[in-house]
Structure 1
């Protein structure tokens, strides 16, 4: 049975009574009317966006951003939990019996020097958690994601007489380094808030502003970190300079990996290997004993992921044996972010209500090689979810700044309004499904 054939909702009449909105006009009338009637004053959320854009904070350092978010949720009437897994925020609005829906946005920014030229651009610098002074910018769009989620929370609070259930507005720290979701879960997230029946997430991207993009199944890549150490000495020679040179060996291995795994998994399969870090040598030493390097491996298909990781480790070990390194390399593999794969039923609910509201501005979401830890929030309880994109660009032709660019800054209108409406619609439809 289709969602829109099964759900009804109360719509007040001018005299204050309620009329039951039936299946025939749910998508085109009931949800649209709720959203349009209770849309918040966008000025407040424009101001929030500009403030947060101008005052970004790095991963793990989002204290001021979290405080602003928590204050706003309290003003809306949410019961707010703070400092979960760092500076994570979870606001709970219990509104009678029904489903529990969790919606999420991200708190953190990136160590990028902003070059947008906007009057509210960030000039901020911070000491990151590793002790380095860095420029800071909301180059990924988390500022817009937060503003849209708060706006949707306001809309849903204002319309609470039209729906029943529980809404959780969660603001996650440390998404950029993909540690915040697990940290919140490990810090007892579900001892503080109800376990959701559905999770919803959205992200602004350089689609045309006003568009939304959604699809079922995989939408964001799985990312694995491979930390490798190649050891060149000690060796039999009394002169350590004659041991295996781990720098030249590592520099031979790394460029071969992409081609090697592509042959191993098949040229039509999708996997990428990138070197994200390389360190060798200690000041004062006259030879290099070992090299450490970090690889980022991204895949879409679970079986390809397993094969690709095995091939990466195999190649490193084979090359070290061929070079006669005195000690086996050390290879440690860890999950940086799991595959983000939308639940078919939840996605259908979201897609249906988006089509009824946004019409031709709904497009098919493309599988993206970016990664997310959003799904970790519900993994322990197998919570189904949908994750979609909404557009923030004035146009889609020519050279367009993408997420993580120093020039990326979504246009405020109609981006903000579309993000608010999309999230509110998805929540209402999910509560009803």
Structure 2
């Protein structure tokens, strides 16, 4: 029997997916989702531990001797208002950390990840003759915050459960459904998001001489920050620095007392990352000093994702199994992506190789070549868009099959 055959997929998974999509929850608020996950894993015969890092769920199933493999899905949604027009679209709202009411949408596809892993857990539990060893399924909170994986590790994930020989996982992507993509080595960028507060001195707009204008200070800082990538890192390095938010003042005729910037840095190399962070610190403090700022500026970390590194041998082993299932023409190399993920923490914390792939989730009819050169990749809705929603089939069936195939590849029957 090949790795992808004899997989029983519960037809009720489609309704489960729609239910999770209608009821999204933000990071560390995934209480309803976690309860559904725990209930289904219990029914499949897993030993279930709830409340890991608050809302995380771990299921364990030992099936004879053999290695341990960890399969991971993330559960959280985004503060995005859905605009897909689907009959199962989210209309949910919630209260964020600041107390504001925000819309919530599974615009990144974590509802699909959760459904696929539940389906795979069901299938593997139902056919224990096809694999041997210990299966650990991790349903992680707060991936979008860059905090959930580390929180689970900090809550004793590998003290309370066996450390795996491999960490396996997938992320739905705007690739044609029926395609799977994976890149060896540094696959997804490290990301640092920072909040910069520049303090000047407020005054009436008619008396600029009485002020230390933080808006001018912020403008000079933004312009100077643009030189970091072009002039301070090697031309062969890949990095992005984006100032995504500026806020200062509320009136046209008032010079405010402070300005706030939010910026994001994406890198693939720890040395380049540190050089950029040092440059940001120097430029922010230097521009404040030149302006005669009333106080030292502050630079605060908002979130951080480490670089995701796929172990080449581990990914190759998994993709070879997928090629035997889908055909080699349906296995793509997307190159290193600028998106960020925290799944790598689960692997590095266990000193285990990571095998992490992209699952095509978009209607194939929208594509022409169907590979990484397809112009549709720039036009179809992508993750985090209010218009993003994967086509349910064949994405759901493929996602379950991929996880089962990967698990059987790493936990072969004895």
Could you state the TM-score of these two structures normalised by the residue count of structure 2? 0.89
What residue in structure 1 maps to residue 367 of structure 2? 396
Alignment size in residue pairs: 397
Change (3 A) 1:241 1:45: farther
Change (3 A) 1:326 1:131: closer
Counterpart of 2:154 (choices 164, 181, 186) is 186
Say whether residues 1:37 and 2:6 are aligned partners. Answer: yes
1:10-409 equivalences under 5 Å are: 30-32=1-3, 35-41=4-10, 43-233=11-201, 242-280=210-248, 288-333=256-301, 336-359=304-327, 360-394=329-363, 395-396=366-367, 398=376, 399-409=379-389
CA RMSD between the two structures = 2.4
Provide the rounded CA distance (Å) in 1 between the counterparts of 2:303 and 2:69. 27
Say whether residues 1:427 and 2:403 are aligned partners. Answer: no
**Maintained 8 Å contact 1:115/1:406:** yes
**Maintained 8 Å contact 2:158/2:350:** no
Superposed displacement of residue 372, structure 1: 0.6
Deviation digits for residues 278-337 of structure 1 (CA, Å, limit 9, x no counterpart): 444699xx7644333222111122322222222222222222222232443333457610
Provide the rounded CA distance (Å) in 1 between the counterparts of 2:113 and 2:127. 21
**Maintained 8 Å contact 1:61/1:128:** no
Superposed displacement of residue 365, structure 1: 2.6
**Maintained 8 Å contact 2:310/2:356:** yes
Gaps of 5+ in 1: 1-29
SS of residue matched to 2:40: helix
Deviation digits for residues 340-392 of structure 1 (CA, Å, limit 9, x no counterpart): 01012211211211111111211113321110111112333322211110101
**Maintained 8 Å contact 1:103/1:201:** yes
Q: Which has the larger radius of gyration?
A: 1
- Comparing 325-334 and 74-83, the one that deviates more: 325-334
Gaps of 5+ in 2: 369-375
Superposed displacement of residue 264, structure 1: 1.0
Provide the rounded CA distance (Å) in 2 between the counterparts of 1:396 and 1:371. 25
